[in-house]
Amino acid sequence: MRKDLSFALCAISSKSYTLRQELHQQLAELPQKLKFSVPAKGYQSLEIVQAYLLLTLLGCMAVERHECDKTWLLLGMAIRMATDLNLHRKIAMTRQDTPEGRARDKEVHDRERTWLLCFALDRSYVI
């Protein structure tokens, strides 16, 4: 499911790509379609949580009506999935100097940083 994170990154970065401004609209449609179909299929991963957080940050802009803002919904989905993946629980570092040990420690750091961002966004987002 790394595609979800890739789609979110492409959609966000295409907003600043001025050579082809229509690209942003095209790329922004796919994450919009995927964001509700992914949990319906039962997919859960760290990358999906990160994609939701990126889309949450993308959604922090002015909307015509407050009811149109789905930022809080995406953030809630990210936090729910993060708790389902136990990102809120502390995992001990292995600190082994092997490729497997370094990969595991990197995963632990990624999980911790993702949970901290969930927490910070939850506390800072005001409706």
Query: What is the count of structural domains for the chain?
Result: 1
- In this predicted model, what pLDDT tens digit does every residue of 17-68 receive, in sequence order? 778 878 777 777 766 677 778 888 888 999 889 988 988 877 655 555 555 5
pLDDT recorded at residue 127: 57
pLDDT recorded at residue 1: 47
pTM of whole model > 0.85?
no
Structural domain range at position 37: 2-124
97 pLDDT above the threshold of 50: yes
- Single-letter residue type at 36: F
pLDDT recorded at residue 124: 86
DSSP class of residue 41? T
- Which H, E and C letters describe 54-86, residue by residue? HHHHHCCCCCCCHHHCCHHHHHHHHHHHHHHCC
User: CA-CA-CA-CA torsion for 41, 33, 15, 124, nearest 10 degrees?
Assistant: -60
